[in-house]
Chains A and B, each alone.
Chain A
């Protein structure tokens, strides 16, 4: 279903929309308070932007450098062209070490590759250990936000879900009780895991190490308890130097939740004695996006979710209305590159207000890219006849002042004289919940012409 259709369904429950909007606006506001305390915030953003632009421009070299250093650290490095290859590699590693139970910390990449169902079909239990992710996993849903995966669920829904799956007692949505129970449930999973899968926030070419940021410490618990650690990363997650982490760690948590830093910024470099560490580097369409100069900067994204929190449309339509792993403004410029047809409504799910671009910690020109995708979509995808024709007619009217004035005069007459039953008939979507402007008798052009004529007459007379 297209974004407007799903957004329409979401808007049937206005109270829920209000609640969702307020919850995310609260996070956006926290981000403001936090960012505005940092001297040189705008300079940090510029650094972040330039480091990413530089890295992407030299990605081949940095990937080779990273692989070399990671290998010498004792990490096994794997390369995956696409989601399928990624899933097969992960499965192969798990099979080799006879892993049947896997704990996973939050990784949007594995969501993108649909790793969970792939492994489950092959008899492997995968437990998402980020609390929000576990909630959506139990509900058999996908995350609706990249940082707050279960933001679309309120505590009462979580209460019901836990009663059903974790045998909790009804608690009227008591967050403390629910968190305690989730903690206990997850601890058992951590202790019994055969392998841990994590995402990667930053991979450092210079050291061959990588950093995973979490607030719950679940990546650490998974990776330190299980004999095998598999880290899955999109190839754009690379940064050249350890020093650059200072820029990104400061930007990431403040932009995401308004925290000065994530509770855990865990650095992984070498497997502990007797344990194994793997990195799977995934392309899955990134090279293709990299090859499009207009959309290359979309790969700067550090997955903070700030563009979602700030987006007035995201807040009022919910993450699931985007029907893509990464929802919101950034998802709307990434997804058309993956499947133009499937995601063709997303670049239009925006007023081009530009808030996303201004909030983005690495200065991605999101709203400009939305505009550019629109131009491509109307060329490459068949558009509704009404839209095509009306755009053509408007284009020709606006090229010809005489025709335009004649047509506009008729419209004003219609606005004044047609009965409401016709003006507000079904095709008038504007008028469903809004009044149309009144049609004035005289346009500005006509008023001005009259004034000029009067002036001239006065001068002549």
Chain B
């Protein structure tokens, strides 16, 4: 099985440690991973801002880089969702369809393709789950509070096996953090308020580390935490799953 690793543009440039943790984690799980060096971005920033048409080049570049793999794995629910849901702007060649069908968010891949729950990590901290919306309601990486059905969560499945982790319940388990791409800037006041409220929920419930499947949400929350000097940290779930041994 050949696996292409997609590291979203902003993780590549701003949070390389998350990319490294993802790669090391997959290698620990005995997966042969290739990182195509011509990759850039999935196209989401332009598309969500209403400029899908300007994202076509990015989409084509994405398919070109990942067309030869059985699976594409990425530490971002949001980017995986974008490829799955919005690559209908391109011609639906068998190649495009293959990439769209075979892209997986990291936790989803570990649980549902590798069929592994215990990745052998140790992380002795109180952790709060931030359920990034595109992963949760787009890819259905877990059950959401709106829909009626049995509870499940791939993030929880993996974290529960990590030695020392305590998952802290929140008052609002799956409310959006307010990042939303360009929304963070165009609707600054509401975005900030949503982020502040999110952090408060974690702090009120004794969380030391906020984790998520998406670094973009965490970048927004971290920006607020640093500005307001709050006693809490953010870490991508790949970093937790890759810690200790």
Contact = CB atoms under 8 A, between A and B. Distances in A.
B205 interface: no
Q: Indicate the size class of the contact surface on chain A.
A: 35 or more
A372 B183 CA distance: 16
Given A4-B186, A17-B193, A36-B148, A312 B175 contact: yes
Given A42-B147, A348-B183, A395-B57, A316 B188 contact: no
Nearest to A440: B16
Interface in B47-99: 47-58, 60-61, 86
A50 interface: no
A436 B15 CA distance: 12
Given A7-B189, A351-B133, A429-B185, A437 B15 contact: yes
B14 A440 contact: yes
A38 interface: yes
Given A3-B187, A41-B148, A434 B220 contact: yes
Contacts of A446: 16
B187 A357 contact: no
B20 A444 contact: yes
Contacts of A42: 147-149
A444 B146 contact: no
A448 B175 contact: no
B16 A391 contact: no
30 contacts: A3-B187, A4-B189, A8-B188, A32-B146, A42-B149, A312-B175, A348-B182, A348-B183, A349-B190, A351-B178, A351-B194, A352-B134, A353-B133, A354-B133, A355-B174, A371-B47, A374-B48, A375-B52, A395-B46, A396-B57, A398-B43, A408-B9, A412-B14, A429-B185, A430-B223, A433-B192, A435-B222, A443-B12, A444-B12, A449-B37
A351 B183 contact: yes
B165 interface: no
Contacts of A32: 145-146
Given A42-B147, A395-B46, A395-B55, A313 B190 contact: yes
A429 B174 CA distance: 26
Given A358-B146, A408-B9, A437 B219 contact: yes
A442 B16 contact: yes
B142 to A, nearest CB: 12
A19 interface: no
Interface of B: 7, 9, 11-17, 19-20, 23, 35, 37-41, 43, 45-58, 60-61, 86, 133-134, 137-138, 144-149, 172, 174-176, 178-195, 197, 219-220, 222-224, 226-227
Contact of A391 (B11, B15, B54): B54
Contact of B223 (A316, A404, A434): A434
Given A353-B137, A437-B219, A439-B14, A398 B148 contact: no
Given A42-B149, A397-B40, A444-B11, A4 B193 contact: no
Interface string A3-39: 1100110110010010001000100000010011010
A448 B35 contact: yes
Given A7-B190, A316-B190, A401-B40, A352 B148 contact: no
Interface centre among A38, A357, A432 (most CB of B within 10 A): A432
A430 B14 contact: no
B226 A398 contact: no
B7 to A, nearest CB: 5
- Top 3 closest A-B pairs, CB basis? A399-B57, A351-B180, A434-B223
Given A25-B172, A32-B146, A357-B137, 16 more contacts: A10-B189, A36-B148, A41-B148, A312-B175, A312-B176, A347-B50, A348-B187, A354-B137, A355-B137, A398-B9, A404-B9, A433-B192, A435-B226, A438-B14, A444-B19, A446-B16
